[in-house]
Every structure is written in C-alpha cells, then in structure tokens.
Amino acid sequence: MSNLYIIATPIGNLEDITFRAIKILKSVDFIIAEDTRHAQILLKKYDIKKIPLESFHAKSSEKKLDNVCQKIYENNSAAYISDAGTPCISDPGFRLIKKCVENKIKIIPIPGPSALTTLLSVSGIPVDRFKFLGFLPHKKGRQKILQSFIDAEVAQVFFESVYRFEKMLNELEKYCGKNRQIIIGRELTKIYEEIFRGTIEDAKKYFTKNKIKGEFVVIVGTEKMMK
C-alpha cells in the first residue's frame, strides 16, 4: 500500500522540526510542497537531497490533484509539507487527503509545530476548550463571527494578517468592549517573537503602527474570564 505522510514543519525556527520528520523526508520517494521554493530552504538546512519535489497549493487544479494522487499511488511513499506548521489546518492540503482516502492510500500524520498550539500553551487562560476560526473572512461573514464573541463561552482563536490587524482590534473593541482579555502572538518562534497579554484597550495602545509587522495568532478570552 502507498503511504502519504503529513509532516508538520517549523513555523519560524527551523530547529523545531522533529527527528522523525527529517528521517521520513529523507526516505520518501518524493515530497509534495505548497511552495517548492520555500520548501528548499528547509530541505537544504537538513541536507535532504535528490528527493523530487511536486507542488500543490490553493490554486492547483483538479487535474493537478489527480496527477499528484496518481503519482503517490504509483510510488511507495510521499510526504506533504505546507509552508509552515501542521499541514491541512489553514491550507489546501485537505483536498489532497480527501482524494488519497478515496484511492485507498494510507495517510500517516507526523505531528509537530503549530502556531495554534504554540500560543495556546502559553496563553495563561483556560484553554481546555476553545474555538478555532482559522483566518477570519475579509468581508462576508466577518461581522457575524465577531458578534459571536460577545457571549462566547470558550476562548476564540484565529489567525490575522498584518494588513487587517489594526482593523481587527477596533472591531473587537466594538463588539467585546475595551476590557476584554486578549492574547496575541506575533512572529512566533522567530527572532522577533512577541507575546502580548492584556485588554483590548491595552493592545491598541501597545501595537503602534511601527510594531504592526509579521504574522499574528489571536486569542480572545470570554466575558467570564474578566471577572
């Protein structure tokens, strides 16, 4: 039976990859990457050579998906990596897995880095239960989601782009009030890593325009956590 390994890769610091992940990347017949140029940085770091690379990303066609799946089926093993973190969380990898399952290809997860669990682990608030929202919609449905934070019973976790970060803080203040607790991870595991804990009002003051850089993970606490 052919195997497809779903391999978590570092979200910033390249040393966060696991020994098992490196071993498998060196042994598979080929590697499927969201961005082959980006993947080469990691592969070069760990001296992974002569392993064919196949691209698969959000805009890949159904024909491309079929071809990749067929290539896995015809070979003994393949590995799928995204640009950073655990694949298939906020990337198109689920399409590949769905197609492979339909074709009786064995899916093997290789756990590792995730921006989601990285911030949750140091949040300092109850996160035994939480709701993960991925990237919030840019327009349609965004306000409805933010309104749901008002009476949420568990922490709300999502990713946000630098381009909408300031807007997001203003929206959170509008719906949740200035005193709602918020935890923000910026550039996690990278050289300029920063973890902010405080109120939405504090966050607006802290993240001045010259500090709104990088990639963000946001945790919004519940109203009960304020008491």
Q: What one-letter code names the amino acid at 116? A: L
Judged by DSSP in three states, 32 sits in: strand
Q: What is the pLDDT of residues 52-109, one digit of tens each?
A: 999 998 888 999 999 999 999 887 899 999 989 988 887 778 899 999 999 999 999 9
Enter the DSSP assignment of 23: H
Domain with CATH 3.30.950.10 in the chain: 115-226
Phi and psi, residue 172, nearest 5°? -65, -40
Three-class SS state of 181: strand
Q: Which CATH fold topology does 3-110 show?
A: Cobalt-precorrin-4 Transmethylase; domain 1 (3.40.1010)
Beta strands in 59-135 (DSSP E): 77-81, 106-110, 130-135
Q: Listing from the earlier edge strand, what are the strands of the sheet with 30-33?
A: 53-55, 30-33, 77-81, 3-7, 106-110
Q: What does the alpha-carbon distance between residue 119 and residue 190 come to, in Å, rounded to a whole number?
A: 13
- Please give the pLDDT value at position 206: 93
Give helix 93-102 / helix 62-74 axis angle, nearest 10°: 50
Chain region(s) in the chain for CATH 3.40.1010.10: 3-110
Task: Indicate the fold that domain 115-226 takes in CATH.
Answer: 3.30.950
Query: Which stretches of 65-209 are assigned E, i.e. beta strand?
Result: 77-81, 106-110, 130-135, 155-160, 181-186, 194-199
**Distance from C-alpha of 129 to C-alpha of 37, rounded to nearest angstrom:** 37
Q: Residue 226: CB partners within 8 Å, gap ≥ 6? A: 179, 180, 181
Per-residue pLDDT of the chain (227 residues; tens, 9 = 90+): 799 999 999 999 999 999 999 999 999 999 999 899 999 999 999 999 888 999 998 888 999 999 999 999 887 899 999 989 988 887 778 899 999 999 999 999 999 999 999 999 999 999 999 999 999 998 889 999 999 999 999 999 999 999 999 999 999 999 999 999 999 999 999 999 999 999 999 999 999 877 788 899 999 999 887 66
pLDDT at residue 227 in the model: 61
Query: Exposed, middle or buried, 227 (CB in 10 Å: 0-12/13-18/19+)?
Result: exposed
